[in-house]
Amino acid sequence: MVVATTVTGKAIRHATRPTWAEVSLSALRQNFRVVQEHVGSDVTVCSVVKADAYGHGAIECSLALEEEGGKWFGVTSLDEAIPLRDAGLGGRILLMTGFWRGEEEEIVGLGLTPTVWEPWQIKALDKAAAKLGVSKHPVHLKADTGMGRLGVHLKDLPDACALLASSPHLQVEGFSTHLASSEVLDAPSSEAQLKQFQEARRILDRAGLKPTFIHAANTSANISRRESWNTMVRLGLALYGYYLPFQRAGREVSGGAWRLGVKPVLTWKTRILSVRDAGAHEALGYGGTYVTQSPARIAVLPVGYADGLNRALSAGGRVIVRDHYAPIVGRISMDLTLVDVTGILGVDVGDEVILLGSSDGLMVSAREHAELANTIPYEILCAISKRVPRRPQ
């Protein structure tokens, strides 16, 4: 779990600045059970814990998921995999965006499963496995079916298959692709990509490669496209309690068919640093962009965009104080944010404030932040900085 610390002359002191995030490992476990039940026991869930588990703390989240029955964990790179192994994670770790030259021996030595698509990756891994005496190191081959980022194009797939088949120290255990628009229900590209993926699987079959794990579905596809599940799904955002809104004909689609019973795992909190009385027609914050219309009571919060509180929330954002919504006023600055607590009785220095989370039927979600900031919940969660300690609950 990310915990801000400072090394002094004699000891390590933990941060006492009152801005922190509580991570409910019980909610995370429940979300895993929900998604596993959704896809059924025949489909393997790969828990995506890249980007420090989307800002939730990769080590603690991964260990909790492994205890809950998780077998696979998806990370971006070797740098993200090593701390998990060091922490004792025994499950399979999938390097979803490949690796850099020179990392292949460490990958084999740590028992990591890399995604491959370039000839040099296959050759380097086969050589490393031979050097380390590993007879069949598992790899997952990735096809580019229309995302246009990583993966082998179908025209080059036969050559990639031939190279893998002639690599005696490698085993093609998995085959994957990534859908570009799985949250858009009427996106023709998704159907086209799935058809391309089926053709790619036929190419593998003709080459004599029969991978166990076939995966294309992320969180959105897991909800919207049953046909994309195959034998493995890669679940990230849903584990942490969110998923993107679904669209059809350019409009958001809601309803039971497009819902998954997951709950937010992270609650972000701070405490009031100061309470000030402002007069009518008083400008607040940088640039004086907010001017009070009448006398107001303003609470100063020790949190800002350096902590990950998106500056776009300066217009329209809100927090929860004493079971009431309080609007953000003025521009969010690097370390401080102002909220209007006029009319909320008893507000005082030290009061707990919820930036993300719920209380007494009120909620401020990462999706709400994302809509105000014209972004996605992924970015809101990942942007919570390392100076915000994560506290497992």
Q: Is the pLDDT assigned to residue 260 strictly greater than 80?
A: yes
Percent pLDDT > 90 in the chain is 90
CA dist., res. 50 & res. 53, Å (int): 5
255: left (phi over 0), alpha (psi -120 to 50) or beta: left
Q: Residue 232 is encoded by which pair of tokens?
A: 């493995």
Q: Is the pLDDT assigned to residue 1 strictly greater than 60?
A: no
Question: Is 386 among the residues known to form the active site?
Answer: no
- Looking at residue 4, its pLDDT comes to 57
CA dist., res. 88 & res. 171, Å (int): 25
Annotated catalytic residue: which of 195, 210, 286, 386? Answer: 286
Torsion angle, CA of 56/303/328/361, rounded to 10 degrees?
A: 40
- Looking at residue 2, its pLDDT comes to 54
Annotated catalytic residue: which of 50, 242, 269, 290? Answer: 50
Question: Is 10 among the residues known to form the active site?
Answer: no
- Looking at residue 315, its pLDDT comes to 85
Q: Residue 223 is encoded by which pair of tokens?
A: 């909800």
Rounded to two decimals, the pTM is 0.93
Q: Is the pLDDT assigned to residue 301 strictly greater than 80?
A: yes
pLDDT in tens, 179-196: 999 999 988 999 999 999
pLDDT in tens, 336-381: 999 999 999 999 999 999 999 999 999 999 999 999 999 999 999 9
Q: Residue 10 is encoded by which pair of tokens?
A: 């004699």
Query: How many C-alpha atoms does 166 have within 13 Å on its Cβ side?
Result: 8
pLDDT in tens, 155-167: 999 999 999 999 9
- Looking at residue 306, its pLDDT comes to 98
